[in-house]
Amino acid sequence: MHLQSFSFKKGFRALGRCPKVVLTADRTLMSPYRGISLASFFGCAPALDFNRDHDSFWYHVLGNQVTPRVLFDFICNTIDHTNGHANYAPYGLRKVEAALLRDGYKREDVVIAHPDHVEKFIGPETDVVGTYEMDPLGMGPVTMTFTYGRKHMSYDEFYNRDLHYRINAAKARTGSKAKVVAGASGTWQYNYDPAKIEEYGLYGIVEGELGGIGPEIDGAAGPFFDALAAGEFDTANPFKKSQFKVEIKEFVRNDKTLHGRFIHYWNEPSVDEIPNIVNPSMHGMIEVMRGCGRGCKFCDVTLRPLRYYPVEKVQKEIEINMKYGGLKNAWVHSDDIFVYGLNPRTTKNMQPNREAIEELFEGIMATGIEHANPTHGTLAGAIADERLIPNLSKIIRSGPHNHIGIQCGFETGSIRLIGKYADRKLSPYRPDEWHWVVKNGIKTLNENYWVPAFTLIMGLDNDETPEDSWETIQLIHEIETEQPNSRFTATPLTFVPIGLLEKSDFYDIGNTMDAPKLGVMYKTWQHNFKYGIQRFMGKVGHDNPIKNWFFTQLASTLGGVPLSAMEKFARRKGAEHERVIEKIKANYW
Identify whether residues 252 and 284 lie together within a single domain. Answer: no
pLDDT band, very low/low/confident/very high, at 566 (cuts 50, 70, 90): confident
Instruction: Name which of 167-176, 509-518, 542-551 the model is least confident about.
Output: 542-551
| Average pLDDT score over residue span 243-262 | 93
Other CB atoms within 10 A of residue 57 CB: 8
Q: Is 95 in contact with 146 (CB distance < 8 Å)?
A: no
Is position 453 within any domain? yes
Would you say residue 170 has pLDDT above 80?
yes
Identify whether residues 408 and 555 lie together within a single domain. Answer: no
Q: Is 480 in contact with 486 (CB distance < 8 Å)?
A: yes
- pLDDT (0 to 100) of residue 546: 64
- pLDDT (0 to 100) of residue 149: 81
- Cα–Cα distance for residue pair 12/118, rounded to 1 Å: 12
Q: Is 317 in contact with 135 (CB distance < 8 Å)?
A: no
Would you say residue 509 has pLDDT above 90?
no
- pLDDT (0 to 100) of residue 40: 81
**How would you classify the pairing of strands 244-253 and 256-265?**
antiparallel
Global model pTM greater than 0.85: yes
| Average pLDDT score over residue span 333-352 | 89
Cα maximum dimension of the chain: 70
| 93 burial type by CB count under 10 A (0-12 exposed, 13-18 middle, 19+ buried) | buried
Is position 6 within any domain? no
- Cα–Cα distance for residue pair 336/301, rounded to 1 Å: 10
Identify whether residues 300 and 224 lie together within a single domain. Answer: no
Q: Which residues of 554-575 are buried (b: 16+ CB within 10 A; e: fewer)?
A: ebeeebeebbeebbebbeeeee
| 5 burial type by CB count under 10 A (0-12 exposed, 13-18 middle, 19+ buried) | middle
Identify whether residues 259 and 144 lie together within a single domain. Answer: yes
Task: Give the residue with greater pLDDT, 476 vs 41.
Answer: 476
- pLDDT (0 to 100) of residue 9: 43
Instruction: Name which of 35-49, 495-509, 534-548, 568-582 the model is least confident about.
Output: 534-548
- Cα–Cα distance for residue pair 16/417, rounded to 1 Å: 60
Q: To the nearest whole percent, how much of the chain has pLDDT over 90?
A: 68
Task: Give the residue with greater pLDDT, 545 vs 149.
Answer: 149
Q: Is 186 in contact with 496 (CB distance < 8 Å)?
A: no
Give Cβ neighbours of residue 535 (< 8 Å, ≥ 6 apart): none
User: Over the stretch 367-376, which tens digit does the pLDDT of each residue have?
Assistant: 999 999 999 9
**Is 402 in a helix, a strand, or coil?**
strand
| Average pLDDT score over residue span 548-566 | 67
**Is 11 in a helix, a strand, or coil?**
helix
Would you say residue 252 has pLDDT above 80?
yes
Is position 20 within any domain? yes
pLDDT band, very low/low/confident/very high, at 534 (cuts 50, 70, 90): low
Would you say residue 10 has pLDDT above 60?
no
| Average pLDDT score over residue span 472-492 | 95
User: Over the stretch 189-209, which tens digit does the pLDDT of each residue have?
Assistant: 999 999 999 999 999 999 854
Find how far residue 520's CA is from the centre of its chain. Answer: 22
User: Over the stretch 362-409, which tens digit does the pLDDT of each residue have?
Assistant: 999 999 999 999 999 999 999 999 999 999 999 999 999 899 999 999
| Average pLDDT score over residue span 231-257 | 88
- Cα–Cα distance for residue pair 94/79, rounded to 1 Å: 15
The crossing angle, in degrees rounded to 10, of helices 388-396 and 354-365 is 10
- pLDDT (0 to 100) of residue 8: 47
Picking from 474, 508, 542, the residue at the C-terminal end of a domain is: 508
- Cα–Cα distance for residue pair 582/95, rounded to 1 Å: 50
Is position 348 within any domain? yes
Identify whether residues 490 and 518 lie together within a single domain. Answer: no
Q: Omega before 215 cis (within 30°)?
A: yes
Q: What is the dihedral of CA 157, 278, 374, 551, to 10 degrees?
A: -50
Q: Is 588 in contact with 471 (CB distance < 8 Å)?
A: no
Q: What is the 3-state secondary structure (H, E, C) of 370-385?
A: CEEEECECCHHHHHCC
Most confident of 40-44, 343-347, 396-400: 396-400
pLDDT band, very low/low/confident/very high, at 554 (cuts 50, 70, 90): low
- Cα–Cα distance for residue pair 91/283, rounded to 1 Å: 9
Is position 153 within any domain? yes
| Average pLDDT score over residue span 471-488 | 96
CATH number (domain holding residue 337) = 3.20.20.70
Q: What is the 3-state secondary structure (H, E, C) of 285-319?
A: EEECEECCCCCCCCCCHHHCCCEECCHHHHHHHHH
Q: Is 196 in contact with 142 (CB distance < 8 Å)?
A: no
- pLDDT (0 to 100) of residue 6: 44
- Determine what percent of the chain falls in helix, strand and coil, rounding each to the nearest 5: 45, 15, 35
| 204 burial type by CB count under 10 A (0-12 exposed, 13-18 middle, 19+ buried) | buried
- Cα–Cα distance for residue pair 311/329, rounded to 1 Å: 17
Picking from 448, 483, 508, the residue at the C-terminal end of a domain is: 508
Identify whether residues 256 and 308 lie together within a single domain. Answer: no
pLDDT band, very low/low/confident/very high, at 14 (cuts 50, 70, 90): very low
Task: Give the residue with greater pLDDT, 165 vs 534.
Answer: 165
- pLDDT (0 to 100) of residue 212: 34
Q: Up-side HSE of residue 6: CA atoms within 13 Å toward CB?
A: 13
- Cα–Cα distance for residue pair 132/121, rounded to 1 Å: 16
Q: Up-side HSE of residue 340: CA atoms within 13 Å toward CB?
A: 28
pLDDT band, very low/low/confident/very high, at 543 (cuts 50, 70, 90): low
Other CB atoms within 10 A of residue 195 CB: 14
pLDDT band, very low/low/confident/very high, at 35 (cuts 50, 70, 90): confident
Q: To the nearest whole percent, how much of the chain has pLDDT over 70?
A: 91
- pLDDT (0 to 100) of residue 143: 84
Is position 274 within any domain? no
- pLDDT (0 to 100) of residue 210: 43
- Cα–Cα distance for residue pair 364/284, rounded to 1 Å: 12
| 580 burial type by CB count under 10 A (0-12 exposed, 13-18 middle, 19+ buried) | buried
- Cα–Cα distance for residue pair 334/313, rounded to 1 Å: 15
Would you say residue 306 has pLDDT above 60?
yes
Q: Quick one: which of 505, 292, 296 has its CA closest to 421?
A: 296
- Cα–Cα distance for residue pair 318/277, rounded to 1 Å: 9
- Cα–Cα distance for residue pair 19/5, rounded to 1 Å: 13
Identify whether residues 39 and 168 lie together within a single domain. Answer: yes
Identify whether residues 232 and 317 lie together within a single domain. Answer: no
| Average pLDDT score over residue span 348-361 | 94
What's the domain range around 313?
280-508
Q: Quick one: which of 216, 364, 346 has its CA closest to 293?
A: 346
Identify whether residues 290 and 407 lie together within a single domain. Answer: yes
| Average pLDDT score over residue span 113-124 | 97
Identify whether residues 222 and 367 lie together within a single domain. Answer: no
Find how far residue 353's CA is from the centre of its chain. Answer: 26
- pLDDT (0 to 100) of residue 305: 84
Is position 37 within any domain? yes
DSSP label at residue 272: G
Identify whether residues 469 and 519 lie together within a single domain. Answer: no
Q: Is 320 in contact with 367 (CB distance < 8 Å)?
A: no
Identify whether residues 362 and 253 lie together within a single domain. Answer: no
Would you say residue 285 has pLDDT above 60?
yes
| Average pLDDT score over residue span 217-235 | 94
Would you say residue 454 has pLDDT above 80?
yes
Type and span of the H or E element at 516: helix 515-527
Task: Give the residue with greater pLDDT, 432 vs 531.
Answer: 432
Task: Give the residue with greater pLDDT, 349 vs 483.
Answer: 483
Instruction: Name which of 87-96, 122-131, 306-315, 536-545 the model is least confident about.
Output: 536-545
Is position 272 within any domain? no
Picking from 508, 525, 549, the residue at the C-terminal end of a domain is: 508
Other CB atoms within 10 A of residue 20 CB: 19
Based on the structure, what is the number of domains in the chain? 3
Find how far residue 129's CA is from the centre of its chain. Answer: 22
pLDDT averaged over every residue in the chain: 89
Give Cβ neighbours of residue 412 (< 8 Å, ≥ 6 apart): 418, 456, 457, 460, 464, 468, 471, 472
- Cα–Cα distance for residue pair 91/23, rounded to 1 Å: 12
Q: Which residues of 231-255 are buried (b: 16+ CB within 10 A; e: fewer)?
A: ebbeeeeeeeeeebbbeeeebeeee
| Average pLDDT score over residue span 285-306 | 86
